[in-house]
Chain A
């Protein structure tokens, strides 16, 4: 039996890298001590600012250093459930969020936070684009 659950989150035109970044920051707001690890190289990033976003398609986000150590030692087991979120973004239109139990309160809340953050950023960008085109139209009509 395969472990974990895959939640597909639409990027709403933001693209995969922006959406991945937004998801990571949404998690960081809840898990202040979160630790990030590259899915490609297994490199552990010391701090969010160290992540090499341009080359990452997959990121593991651990709740804290203890969670990372636990996963490194034991891999998946009941004792570390919901202490790591696996983010994948190969497609410009979606991010996949992999968790142990999407119905667990904290996981459901984190998934909702990621979806809302992407949606809010998307609508903000759309509003700015509309404002820009309105300014350009105004300039042309002058």
Chain B
């Protein structure tokens, strides 16, 4: 299962459609500093979708913002 992330801005047009997720999954956001340890998705969506094959912890020092969008 793992965890998936995007580097697209919250204001990106058709964001939910590009990510392939229901609208309600856009209701909350967690922004954090990248340390280049996530893998890009195979194919062109790998330009903006990254994943971790296991649960992904983000230590407080990397957390930038969190809350409702």
Contacts and interface: CB of A to CB of B under 8 A. Distances in A.
B49 A42 contact: no
B20 A4 contact: yes
A6 B21 contact: no
Size range of the chain A interface in the assembly: 20 to 34
Q: Is the interface of A mostly helix, strand, loop or mixed?
A: strand
Interface string B23-66: 10000000000000000011111010101000000000000000
A76 B13 contact: no
Q: Is the interface of B mostly helix, strand, loop or mixed?
A: mixed
B45 A6 contact: yes
Given A1-B4, A2-B4, A75-B22, A39 B44 contact: no
Interface stretch (A23-31, A88-96, A132-140): A88-96
Interface of A: 1-4, 6-8, 37, 39-42, 57-58, 60, 71, 74-77, 84, 86, 88-91, 94-96, 98, 100
